[in-house]
Structure 1
Amino acid sequence: MTRAPARLLAVAAALALMPGAVKAGVAEDRAALASLQADDLRLQSIGWRLATGNAAFCDAVPAIGMLLQDMTNYARPARMRAAAGIAGDIAVEAAVPGSPAALAGLAANHEIVALDGQPMANLPAAPANDWRRLAGLHDVIDAALKRDGAVRIAWRGPDGAIREATIAGVPACPTRFELLDGGGRALADGKRVVFGRKFAGFGLAEDEIAAATAHEFAHNLLAHRAWLTGRRSARNIRVTEREADRLMPWLLANAGYEPAAAVRFFRKWGPGNDGWIFRAPTHDGWDERAASVAGELAQIAGLAAAGAPADWRTHFRRDTTAR
């Protein structure tokens, strides 16, 4: 995952020629980093609500609600270390409010000293813009949580003091939510939900952004990538897209969002973004998608009226199982 905020690159040369360039450059870098972290936290918070809210209906795993950052992912690592106020490469990018990580005291730009007994100072060097080391550190956290139900983390706060805690996970559906600094696509690969930072739906209300996130999340929960193996065609992709659309309001309901936000998402996002006569053969039109989602609302409301959760594992009608 590349972390290189565009304006960091654009202002670098100009700032070097200005009076007070170093001070101004640090301020610019901090502002760019804070903006990126705010966007990351928004996506992580939505993903956390969806993943924990639906844990009763998936093959849940322990999670702590924390995203890391690796300074070597940025085009100018030294500048970003200065912006974050850390000496090493690994720090917290986002800790979801109310999550185990946040409750333990972790917050953005706290420098990670050790994960599961592994000192960050001993990490092998990584080339600039290489995402693999960061992915490996998230794997270390996941492995410890799977093994022990908790992970031991040592970190340095802004006061310079080192703290250490064993942080127990809470049940969550297993998906990582990631934000790419460029592009506007949204996709799911079976293990991750990935959004480009320029995704057109990010200008909508939170519950409508959650609806878009729920669509991608649904692909992972329903194992669509695996199902399409050996049967990938425009027709079958369309089947999975319809199924992911219809699961959206179920996932929203369990996360505490209004299920109808999924309908509103398509009505607001669709007219300018689904291609109209140029739309892909793998997707229905936005109006058809909104109608398909709306068809799920009565069943969800009926369950809620009976005091029952939106148990999609029991009540949701699958389209891919018989093919």
Structure 2
Amino acid sequence: MARSLNSVVRRLVRYFSSAASSLALLGAVSAGAVIEQDRETFEAVRKADLELATIGWRLSVPNASLCDRLEPGLGLQLHTLDQFDSDSRAAAGTYFGFATPVAVEGVVAGSPAERGGIRADDSLVRVGSIDIASLPGKPGTTQRLVATQLAIAALAPDAPIEVEVIRAGAPIKVTVQPVPACRSRFELLLSSGYNARADGTMVQISSQFLEEYTPEQAAAAVAHEFSHNILHHRDRLEARGVDFGMLSGFGTNVKYFRQTELQADLLSVYLLANAGYSPRASIDFWKRFGPSKAGGIFRSRSHPHWRDRVATLEAEIAKLETISARPMIPSLIAERSQPLSGDWQSLLIRAR
């Protein structure tokens, strides 16, 4: 990549004091014809989006047996022309060759989509029974993109899917044989800060993790957030009536958030190991991230100290290293339908 993702982010941030997502940041791209600066920016974002999609793919497919909500794993990274600011939409349309509202930004290497013959910059017309143009979505928003992702996720996880695309102006039909995958969207947030969250259906992580950390350490951060979705933590926290945001560090909220954080830590090492990553990537991540990034009075109340998290992960990794079966399924999976107890102390091992 000619320009690093960080330099792209810095360039875009000059135009914006804040941004909710990469979709908003892309509005800084120049309007009109595709110039070299546009190409570098578009490709930097495509590369980062596909890197996150690949991590998500690697975690979702081998861990399908740990998930009770499945989708057809295709290996597609999709985007929409509506996500671009009106000033950059013409350049994006030209560069990516949008012929329909939703197109293929990238294809995960070795995935069913790649084996089926789908290529980057193919424009989606139909996926199985889904007519892409008929899906709802307000212009200038990502609503149709999200509707497309959710509609595809609702298809049978292992039945062949006929996909119709437009490629270089010509209609093409291919049949893709998906594989079952854990149901979750993975979204990149273009940001020079460190942000990561999961809402039950989506994992969002900022580009800074991909830029500053090794691929395995970034995968560890994604695996932690993904664990929240697999364990239905959002639903279970809401069932307990907790307060989110700054209030998460006060009152009875604390014990529930600490429990979910530790459960996500513990499950993440199993997800990493099942996916072929080193589970110790989680240790490496926290030793690098924790000292300077995991502080703050409010965060420290709702999240265990990073040194204690490392000690807890070390102990769990020692356990899983004695297990030969694959995939490894921890007991946490069987408990996800139960109400949160707030018992985080029994999960935590204190650092010495």
**TM-score of the pair, normalised by structure 2:** 0.78
Overall identity of the aligned pairs, in %? 34
Aligned CA distance change for structure 1 residues 252 and 238 (closer, same or farther; 3 Å): same
1:162 corresponding residue in structure 2: 171
1:19 corresponding residue in structure 2: none
Q: How does 1:62-211 map to 2 (within 5 A)?
A: 62-75=72-85, 76-120=88-132, 126-128=138-140, 130-146=141-157, 149-158=159-168, 160-182=169-191, 184-198=194-208, 200=209, 202-211=211-220
Contact 2:79 2:102 in 1 (8 A): yes
Instruction: Give 3-state SS (helix, strand or coil) of 2:301's partner.
Output: coil
How far apart in 1 are the matches of 2:155 and 2:322? 40
2:48 corresponding residue in structure 1: 39
1:213 corresponding residue in structure 2: 222
Is 1:56 aligned with 2:65? yes
1:222 corresponding residue in structure 2: 231
Contact 1:81 1:88 in 2 (8 A): no
Quote how far apart the aligned CAs of 1:313 are: 4.0
Contact 2:30 2:91 in 1 (8 A): no
Quote how far apart the aligned CAs of 1:314 are: 4.4
CA RMSD after TM alignment: 2.6
Quote how far apart the aligned CAs of 1:201 are: 6.0
Gaps of 5+ in 2: 1-20, 243-252, 342-352
Contact 2:203 2:226 in 1 (8 A): yes
Aligned CA distance change for structure 1 residues 113 and 51 (closer, same or farther; 3 Å): same
Is 1:9 aligned with 2:9? no
Contact 1:63 1:145 in 2 (8 A): no
Write the letter of the residue equivalent to 1:83.
Y
Quote how far apart the aligned CAs of 1:161 are: 3.2
**TM-score of the pair, normalised by structure 1:** 0.85
Write the letter of the residue equivalent to 1:138.
Q
1:71-91 deviation line (CA, Å, top 9, x unaligned): 011103222101213343321
Quote how far apart the aligned CAs of 1:120 are: 4.5
1:89-148 deviation line (CA, Å, top 9, x unaligned): 3210222111111111222212223333555455667321x11111111122223335x7
Quote how far apart the aligned CAs of 1:39 are: 0.5
The structure with the greater share of residues assigned to helix is: 1
2:35 corresponding residue in structure 1: 26
Matched residues, number = 305
219, 242, 257: which is aligned to 2:262?
Answer: 242
Instruction: Give 3-state SS (helix, strand or coil) of 1:3's partner.
Output: helix
How far apart in 1 are the matches of 2:313 and 2:201? 24
Gaps of 5+ in 1: 17-21
Write the letter of the residue equivalent to 2:48.
D
Quote how far apart the aligned CAs of 1:169 are: 1.5
251, 267, 276: which is aligned to 2:271?
Answer: 251
Quote how far apart the aligned CAs of 1:316 are: 7.1
How far apart in 2 are the matches of 1:322 and 1:112? 41
Contact 1:112 1:120 in 2 (8 A): yes
